[in-house]
Structure 1
């Protein structure tokens, strides 16, 4: 073999050695891919971890273990499992209310630090029987998963809050904002029933918001699309657009803020003869009262879930920034004014001469 051929063989061999290869690949049939993880209070240990693993038929397999730490509980599940446990498809992290009231900092920190868990995963609080909710199943439906309950492309509405793992981590370490976590329990004919929102102060649950009160939270977060408001009996409107402006002031007494909310709505249902002006007035009065009650309730919980501190952040010194939740937020004076614009009215009109009684849409 001449020198040129030897060099060619040497270069070829070196390139082959540099190829990554597929020696560490795993057969998907030898893996369990949980999509939901539940973390509750164990009967003998600090945590009980429950994993929901769907299969192609739409059924769900449940695996669980207890331990002093979440990572150890998952390791124990792996030990007794006939397949490897991979968390790369985890979409939903559910936390028992008892655990949430004691603090979730360890749970969120674990989820963020775990290399195989996506920080885009959603977080929820189970209000009710933890095991019953985690083990609850409905008839096999391969196209429906637990995390669809929170999907804005599926059944989500502005009466439900939504928070991802990275947002929970950010908020529990924030000087100027607290988090709101959706609350649920097992449904009768559905996987879950939405109950409202868990209000957190730092990493602990300190109160709740009803579904109606959650609407204000989502308005502040810009998540209002598709929201339906019932104004009075037989009168409902659909939110098309929302505009929010804040006027802030800082006096010797402390911070104050006036929030002006303008809602563009479409009437979806109303009694015959009830004018747009009457509906607008009713909505403005009702929502202003409701929103102001909600902000007073939130302030009594000493939890800045609306993120008012973020609005004042440019005006805060570093010292006041650190004291926002403990000193300044409890002194905050906040008022909300609501104005409503009706874009059009939708109703069905039956014509006496129309034998088919077809509905017509009339725009005003």
Structure 2
């Protein structure tokens, strides 16, 4: 006969043993397929064509599975029905959208990715230019999934001439009255997995234009996503930008919004084959960056796309109605001035003749 004093202990042990059954529905990793890239392209019949790139150690590369349907969800379900293992979308690192679809509408694709419970909102976005199949099926080594991600990784192959945009950022910008976005454009690489061809200008949820790699650098400075990077100041000189900061001064006048953006650059001279003075190089760099910024701002206003997020800086100065009319009216009449200040740092890499003391001098 069990003593009454032992009953609470027995009940506690039964309760704890019940908790141990919480992992009954786990699946062995060998029974799962984990795609790292999802390609999305809308066909002429308006069906979504979905391609999943899955790492395959057995094939020393990647396995590709695809299907088409009227909805993205159904297309993925079709892939699941013919897969020999369970498909886990949580590890998708890159959404690659074909250019034709981006020019029409990407809003439903972003909505699907955000609302799906098994997709990480930290996934990256890119647009494939050219032959969609060649871009997404391109492989160079045994680990193409790592190359796809490292191309955008700030700890690996990323440079300031490359745009980084995540799913949650794209969803935020599509729903915003005062901000648009830019998405990196990729083509099939030759000696690398991809070639970066600049960025697509997205107005609300459609691609309306493109900006060059040089202009992407300015875009990253405005978004304070700048680290490192070189600029050719002239044919015979180049500098490394060590630090880039930007400050804005906004005013709302009777004629509309005005903004003055001041960029501070701290640079090191890498090459100076013509032995130009630091003052002259600083002046040339200032003129180069200001020219690029003016060109970018002019193009964005022409397309009516506020990818720099200038409207965000004016939100506190606008009424609800003015916020809603920002892109259609106020942004187009924006007076935007950009000035650049350059500071030349002591360059430990400088090897130009005017910095090397000759023997006996």
TM range, normalised to the smaller chain? Answer: over 0.9
2:215 is aligned with 1:216: no
Residue 42 (structure 1) aligned with residue 43 (structure 2):
yes
**Is the CA contact 2:224–2:246 (under 8 Å) kept in the aligned structure 1?**
no
Is contact 2:237–2:274 with CA below 8 Å preserved after alignment?
A: no
Q: Report deviation, 1:42.
A: 2.8
Distance across 2 between alignment mates of 1:18 and 1:156: 45
Which residue in 2 is equivalent to 1:158?
160
Shift of 1:131: 1.1
Per the alignment, residue 188 of structure 1 pairs with: 190
> Residues 222, 6 of structure 1: CA spacing in aligned structure 2 closer, same or farther, 3 A cutoff?
closer
Offset, 1:288: 1.3
Distance change (3 Å), C-alpha of 1:13 and 1:198: same
Q: Secondary structure at the match of 1:266?
A: strand
**Are the structure 2 counterparts of residues 264 and 18 from structure 1 closer, same or farther at C-alpha, using a change threshold of 3 Å?**
closer
Listed as ranges, the gaps of 5+ residues in structure 1 are 351-358
Higher mean displacement: 45-54 or 242-251? 242-251
Q: CA deviation at 1:194?
A: 0.3
2:34 aligns with 33
TM-score normalised to structure 1 length: 0.92
Query: What TM-score does the superposition give when structure 2 sets the normalisation length?
Result: 0.93
Taking the aligned partners of 1:145 and 1:55, their CA distance within structure 2 comes to 14
Q: Which residue of 1 aligns with 2:139?
A: 137
Gaps of 5+ in 2: none
Q: Pick one of 230, 238, 253 that aligns with 2:240.
A: 238
Q: What CA distance in whole angstroms lies between the structure 1 residues aligned with 2:8 and 2:242? A: 71
Q: Name 1:356's counterpart in structure 2.
A: none
Write the distance in 1 (CA, Å) between the matches of 2:22 and 2:162.
Answer: 46
Deviation at 1:56, TM superposition (A): 3.2
What is the CA deviation profile of residues 243-266 of structure 1, one whole-angstrom value per residue up to 9, with x for unaligned ones?
A: 212122222221111111121111
CA deviations on 1:99-144 (whole Å, 9 max, x unpaired) are 1111111111111111111111111111111111111111324794
1:14 Cα offset (Å): 4.0
Q: 1:230-309 residue pairs with structure 2 within 5 A?
A: 230-309=232-311
Q: CA deviation at 1:44?
A: 4.7
Distance 1:256 1:89 in 2: 44
Q: Alpha-carbon deviation of 1:18? A: 4.2
Q: Check 1:349–1:114 CA distance in 2 against 1; reply closer, same or farther (3 A cut).
A: same
Counterparts in 2 of 1:54 and 1:143: CA distance versus 1, 3 Å: closer
What secondary structure sits across from 1:344 in the alignment? coil
Residue-pair matches, total: 354
Alignment of 1:1-364 (within 5 A): 1-2=1-2, 4=4, 8-42=9-43, 44-56=45-57, 58-141=60-143, 144-345=146-347, 346-348=349-351
Could you list the per-position Cα deviations for residues 190-245 of structure 1 after superposition, in whole angstroms to 9, with x for gaps in the alignment?
11000000111111111111000111100001122112111110211111112212
Distance 1:193 1:119 in 2: 25
